[in-house]
Structure 1
Amino acid sequence: MTTFKTLVKTTLTPIALCLSLAIVAPAIAKKGHHQPHDGMRQILSELSLTDTQKQDIKQILKQNREDRELYSTDGKSLKTDMRSLIQSSEWDEEAVETAIAQRQVLMQQKALQRATNKNQVWNLLTATQQAEFVTQLETRKAKHEEKSSERKEKRKGKGKHKGNMLKRLDLTEEQLAAVKTIKTAEKESAETIRAKLKNFKQAEQSLIQSTEFKAETWEALNSEYQSDFVAMALLKTKSKHDIWNTLTPEQQALAMEKTEKCKGKKGAKKGNKKNRQESV
């Protein structure tokens, strides 16, 4: 029982992350190249902006939201295709690579547009505001890393809520051990790639915070790291597929039920967030 409890504490949380069953964006997972969470809007709201700056920035951010919506339909279709590949009994690497390549094209378009819009906002700021923006950004990053470390420590000692929720899948000790092995292997293989993609993020930030932002320069930088984006996506997808196939049909059905409920909650949160973003 001691071994089983240890496996529950160390493995159930990774399972929760994996059972979303949708392809994770390549690059620095959900916080890097494709879906940055740098608190840009929050930082802007704390700067002493003029009314003209506020109006111009609001317009840029609104355009950015509209641009994202243009890709939403294609994005959903690609996610559906990838989910089917993840949930198949056999691993089809060629088909997965094709799906990832298609998704990469779409995500590159979105990322370029977002970087362009960020650069436009950056160049609306005065030198003093830019310096304050950078200071606040670094402060937020430091706080985020500190909170992330604290959450990891708490999960080591607790994790009770998530554990109870996932126990409904009735995972056996053998299943938990298998999942832990899969996640450990993924983590070790991803370390080198994450280091490279961190460099990409830093280089992209320098481009955004320049007076002359060129799409060709951004595209060249993106192309330089494209193989790493694909490698990360392939690695995560294979891990999801392997974990999915450790589950019984009954557990898979229950996992899908949980995923659909999670989607509904996320959809409601997105709707509320969109309403709050109507003003800078």
Structure 2
Amino acid sequence: MYLSKYLILTLLSVVCLSRGVFGNAGFMKPIPRVGCKELDQRGCKIRTPCHNLNPVSGDVNPINIDSIYEYAIYQLDAKANETSVNTYTIQFFKDQENTGFQLLTFNQNDMNSNNSFYAVKMDPIKLNAKLMDNLEFDRDGYVFGTLELTFDARSGGGDVYYSCANVRFQNKTAAAKSKGQKIKVESTLTLTDGKGNQRGDIESDGKATELIVPDLISHEAKVDSEDIKAQDDEDIAAEDGENNENNNEDEEGSKGKSSSSSLAIPTIIASSFITLASLLIKF
């Protein structure tokens, strides 16, 4: 009897501890390796760094270094209390390298709701001088790597949680093959200070909005070739249209000439008959 009670209490403790440990947050944009969203929470519970020395392969998230980028974060369990100072950090790890370059670090502040969705705006990558000095673009103009989100919830009684996404930095926007996916966020956050290596605070606009999450693209997809192909297709279509118009005009012209020739022959014959008849009458 007592054993059963102790067993039940032990199981309850394990469940409670598990609930306290698991939880927390992950990327929604860029699309992570392991999903973190309401219906797929596996990627919200990763408690070990997910960047590694393996080469990035398969599909990737294209990110234009010249444009402002908006991350989207799903916070499953805020782990927030009156004294907590939980933090979020986003780093970039170059392909097959173990040194991270910090892009954003900010305090959780009033992001204290469970099951909540946030967008975080980041300045264009090209404005991060330290990172750009360490990037070597390949002959196609790409840099592959991993974006890693770290949610440090230890201050609120949680753990450290990670979320990773395979990315490709580029200075062009890939030719769109689809419209991507729409997701809803409850607020958009803007970093007010602490760019670079300092910790910053965020301001929330408190406005619900929708974001577009571009679809993953093939690791080998060439932006230039896709753009050229698309342009070529447009040019070919335009040329075909012009040729068709010219052909139609030629056909109409030919028909007109044929009709004129056809009418001219009977007219000549009729004139000849009239002339001959006139001569016969005179004689």
TM-score normalised by structure 1 residue count: 0.23
Which one has the bigger strand percentage? 2
- Larger RCO (CA under 8 A, 6+ residues apart): 1
Which one has the bigger helix percentage? 1
Structure with the greater alpha carbon radius of gyration: 2
TM-score normalised by structure 2 residue count: 0.23
